[in-house]
Amino acid sequence: MIKDFLKLSFINLRKRRLRSWLTIIGIIIGIGSVVALISLSVGLNKEVERQFQLFGSDKLFITPRGMGGFGPPSSTISLTEKDVDVIRDVDGVDLVSAIIFQQMPVKFRDEIQFINVIGISTDEETEKLFEEVQGFKVDKGRQLKPGDKLKATVGSLLGSGDIFKDEVEIRDKLEIGDTAFKVVGIYKPIGNNQDDSSVVIPIEELRKISGTKDEITMIFAKTKEGYSPINVKEEVEKALRDFKNQEKGEETFEVRTSEDLLRLINQLFGTIQVVLVGIGAISLIVGSVGVMNTMYTSVLERTKEIGIMKSIGATNSNIMQIFLIESGILGVVGGTVGIILGISMAKAVEMFASATLFVPLKAYVGIDLIIGALILSFTMGCVAGLLPAKKASSLNPVDALRYE
């Protein structure tokens, strides 16, 4: 019997082809929006998790409270070289590295661009930790080394000509402030625009140019093998509190493990996903209203047909099933096309982000997303068609036969 109901439903939808497709378009837009938004947000979340896994769970990040490690050091709340020494003496800490961020004008030939300049210590300890945490790996040339003064390494975007009109090459000169730096290394692409457009110079040179004294933007620390990062984090917090004479809860600094940062980012992405799905849900509601309107119209047009079916033995349940199947078909067809559209949109954004924004965004396309979207579209169609189906099943056969 279900087979007959399916056949009858397809026949009825085909008779009202234009109206059916106009209804389906609403579902396509809704499902397509939800699929695209979820695909991109989940894909971005997975890429962030992958990046965190690359540098391991044994890292600590120490920053001034509320700054998150970005931007220039604050004149009132900041870390200093003395804090680096305190952290280095904590039991369980293996390597420690301090860096400074400054947004500064950088001149290459006759062109000036404001670029993120990073100052790092030129020692092997910093070089190793900087590469692990930040992902700066040399593609051409070399890293900064002890004894380097007026030397610089640059991000991949400078080397490819995406920042200046000309490509920056090894042995080229960059002017930062009034000081010329010789390029000794070009990094491999990291995947984010900020890092790939950075210039890295010795921290002492950046202090001279920017006029900062011993302030630090961020401190990286690596825990020794066999030590728990959480326990080492607590020891670092205690050591810094004692050194700065601060009470617990009133610190001017923050210490986070890799897992802490990943947890914060996951919470952020969770909130973003809720907002994005909420936006897509508005389109779904519009599509549901379209299905409901179409099915109500179908009930009115087929009132006499319903009366005939009831007069030859069709039950209320049979009538209801027919209309629910029709609305469910609208949902499945719209959902299928919507999934294809949504994945296509997500892939288009992925290619645009990779080619233009240089962001390693990978749209997520999983079987769970596809099946979930199909179930959602079918359910949406059935729920939207529930009231019209109930109205059709409750029609009095005598009144229905008399309907004009």
Give residues with Cβ within 8 angstroms of 294, minimum separation 6.
16, 19, 20, 23, 330
Residue 69: pLDDT band by 50, 70, 90 thresholds? very low
pLDDT at 347 over 70: yes
Structure tokens belonging to residue 318: 């049979």
Q: What pLDDT, on a 0 to 100 scale, did the predictor assign at position 71?
A: 44
Q: What pLDDT, on a 0 to 100 scale, did the predictor assign at position 46?
A: 77
Q: What pLDDT, on a 0 to 100 scale, did the predictor assign at position 182?
A: 94
Residue 294: pLDDT band by 50, 70, 90 thresholds? confident
Q: What is the pLDDT of residues 303-328, one digit of tens each?
A: 777 777 777 777 878 888 887 888 88
Q: What pLDDT, on a 0 to 100 scale, did the predictor assign at position 184?
A: 93
Q: What pLDDT, on a 0 to 100 scale, did the predictor assign at position 10?
A: 66
Q: Which pTM value belongs to this model?
A: 0.60
Mean predicted confidence (pLDDT) in 88-99: 88
pLDDT at 74 over 50: no
Q: What is the pLDDT of residues 151-210, one digit of tens each?
A: 999 998 898 888 898 899 999 999 998 899 999 999 888 777 778 889 999 988 998 888
Of 209, 69, 83, 224, give the one whose Cα is nearest residue 134: 69
pLDDT at 404 over 70: no
Contact indicator for 253, 64 with CB cutoff of 8 Å: yes
Q: What pLDDT, on a 0 to 100 scale, did the predictor assign at position 75?
A: 43
Burial 354-391 (b: 16+ CB within 10 A, else e): eeeebbbbbbbbeeebbeebbebbbebbbbbbbebbeb
User: Picking from 77-86, 120-129, 133-142, which range would have the lowest pLDDT averaged per residue?
Assistant: 120-129
Between CA 53 and CA 183 the distance in angstroms is: 30
- If residue 253 lies in a helix (H) or strand (E), which one and from where to where? strand 253-257
Q: What pLDDT, on a 0 to 100 scale, did the predictor assign at position 149?
A: 87
Q: What pLDDT, on a 0 to 100 scale, did the predictor assign at position 66?
A: 67
Give residues with Cβ within 8 angstroms of 347, minimum separation 6.
363
Between CA 214 and CA 290 the distance in angstroms is: 65
**Class of residue 307 by CB neighbours under 10 A (exposed 0-12, middle 13-18, buried 19+):** buried
Residue 263: pLDDT band by 50, 70, 90 thresholds? confident
pLDDT above 70 coverage of the chain, percent: 84
Between CA 172 and CA 188 the distance in angstroms is: 18
Q: What pLDDT, on a 0 to 100 scale, did the predictor assign at position 12?
A: 67
Give residues with Cβ within 8 angstroms of 340, minimum separation 6.
none
Between CA 363 and CA 361 the distance in angstroms is: 6
User: Picking from 308-312, 382-386, 394-398, which range would have the lowest pLDDT averaged per residue?
Assistant: 394-398
DSSP 74: P
Averaged pLDDT of the chain: 81
Residue 235: pLDDT band by 50, 70, 90 thresholds? very high
**14-18, 95-99, 102-106, 396-400, range with greatest mean pLDDT:** 102-106
Q: What pLDDT, on a 0 to 100 scale, did the predictor assign at position 70?
A: 44
Contact indicator for 343, 42 with CB cutoff of 8 Å: no
Q: What pLDDT, on a 0 to 100 scale, did the predictor assign at position 72?
A: 45
Q: What is the pLDDT of residues 127-148, one digit of tens each?
A: 667 666 666 788 899 888 888 8
Q: What pLDDT, on a 0 to 100 scale, did the predictor assign at position 360?
A: 62
Structure tokens belonging to residue 57: 């769970």
Q: What pLDDT, on a 0 to 100 scale, did the predictor assign at position 73?
A: 42
pLDDT at 403 over 80: no
Structure tokens belonging to residue 198: 């950075």
**Residue 385 CA: distances (Å) to CA of 8, 31, 290:** 16, 17, 10
**Residue 221 CA: distances (Å) to CA of 78, 83, 96, 135, 367:** 17, 12, 4, 15, 40
**35-49, 218-232, 301-315, 385-399, range with greatest mean pLDDT:** 218-232
